[in-house]
Amino acid sequence: VAGFILTFHFTADMAADLKGSLGVLLNNKPLAGLLVEVIRLGFGISVAAVIGKIAMAAGGVNKKMVTDSYLAPVSDFFNRYGVFLAWLILALIGLYRISDIVLGVISNVFYQDLGFTKIEIASVVKTFGLFMTIAGGFLGGFLSIRYGVLKILFMGAVLSSLTNLLFMVLADMGHNLPMLYLVISADNLAGGLASAAFVAFLSSLTNIRFTAIQYAIFTSLMTLVPKVFGGYSGTIVDALGYASFFLITAVIGIPVLILVWLSGKYLGMRNGI
């Protein structure tokens, strides 16, 4: 972890220079910034992995503890599902909530830019929205039991993308409290439904011997990629405007639909369905 953090610290100036040069070359500063940060992330992970391997080889870390606690759960997952299906599932886990998380990063700023007061935001988004999320969670759980997890997982992905388009309508209408209630109702119901199905899906993937570690890995992966992209939400809004940004958050949910379908297909083949 220290190696990962130090890598980001010492590459900050270099990254800033590279963003400037690449931004001029590509004539696209947001894209240049994204590419540089992705490279920094990959480099940081690589440095951390090398440091960990050296520490294990030097005897500074209990190899058996590392193997039992970290390597065995990962190895078990790949052994049970095979390399192709395991990577397919991991891709689905990493991208499933990308539409909601990327939009969520900028949502409070968006509401304030439309002129909603902090009291209105707290009442509608935080309080009313919480009840809608809980209702969506109960609905998602019920439907998952009734129709199967993968079908509701697919439905949740569709609804999460489609409800993001409502934010485009809100952006066009401006300060409109009834419309805000409608948008939050739809978005949070969809988010709650998708989350319930997703939790059920993740739970079905774990081995009872490694439940804690595998579930921790899955939930960490669930937010990693969306948070990385979400860090550039403000830059995208500045460059393209809110309407285009919300359209992008809806479109990036399309690959998730393909991943859900493929995962369901290969899981069905694996289970003989």
SS3 114: coil
Q: What is the mean pLDDT of residues 103-128?
A: 93
Alpha helical stretches, state H, the chain: 2-10, 12-26, 29-57, 63-66, 72-81, 83-95, 98-113, 118-121, 129-147, 149-173, 177-205, 211-230, 233-240, 242-251, 254-270
How high is the pLDDT of residue 21? 84
- Whether residues 108 and 226 share a domain: the answer is yes
Burial class of residue 255 (count of CB atoms within 10 Å of its CB; 0-12, 13-18, 19+): middle
Structure confidence at residue 10 as a pLDDT band (50, 70, 90): confident
Number of domains, the chain: 2
Same domain, 46 and 156: no
Domain of 45, in residue numbers: 1-61
Looking at the fold, whether 182 and 220 belong to one and the same domain comes out as yes
pLDDT more than 90, % of the chain: 52
Region 31-53: what's the mean pLDDT? 78
Whether 13 and 98 share a structural domain: no
Q: What is the pLDDT of residues 116-142, one digit of tens each?
A: 999 999 999 999 999 999 999 999 999
5 and 104 co-located in one domain: no
Regarding whether 128 and 25 lie in a shared domain, the answer is no
Question: Are residue 92 and residue 217 in the same domain, yes or no?
Answer: yes
pLDDT band at 239 (very low <50, low <70, confident <90, very high): confident
> Same domain, yes or no, for 118 and 205?
yes
The Cα 28–Cα 19 span in angstroms is 10
Do 34 and 132 belong together in one domain?
no
The pair of structure tokens assigned to 127 is 């309080």
Question: Rounded mean pLDDT of 3-7?
Answer: 75
CA-CA distances (angstroms) from residue 111 to 126, 162, 190? 12, 19, 19
**What's the pLDDT score for residue 17?**
85
What is the Cα–Cα distance from 68 to 270, expressed in whole angstroms? 27
Residues 140 and 242 in one domain: yes
User: Which residue's entry shows tokens 């980001």?
Assistant: 8
8 Å CB contact between 195 and 137: yes
Residue predicted with more confidence, 33 or 61: 33
The structure's pTM equals: 0.78
Q: Looking at the structure, do residues 18 and 75 belong to the same domain, yes or no?
A: no
Residue 267 dihedral angles phi and psi, to the nearest 5°: -65, -40
DSSP letter at 59 equals T
Looking at every residue in the chain, the average pLDDT score rounds to 87
Mention every residue, 6+ apart, whose C-beta is less than 8 A from residue 62.
Answer: none
Identify the CATH number of the domain in which residue 99 sits.
Answer: 1.20.1250.20
For 47-96, the pLDDT digits (tens) are 877 877 777 677 666 666 666 667 788 889 999 999 999 999 999 999 99
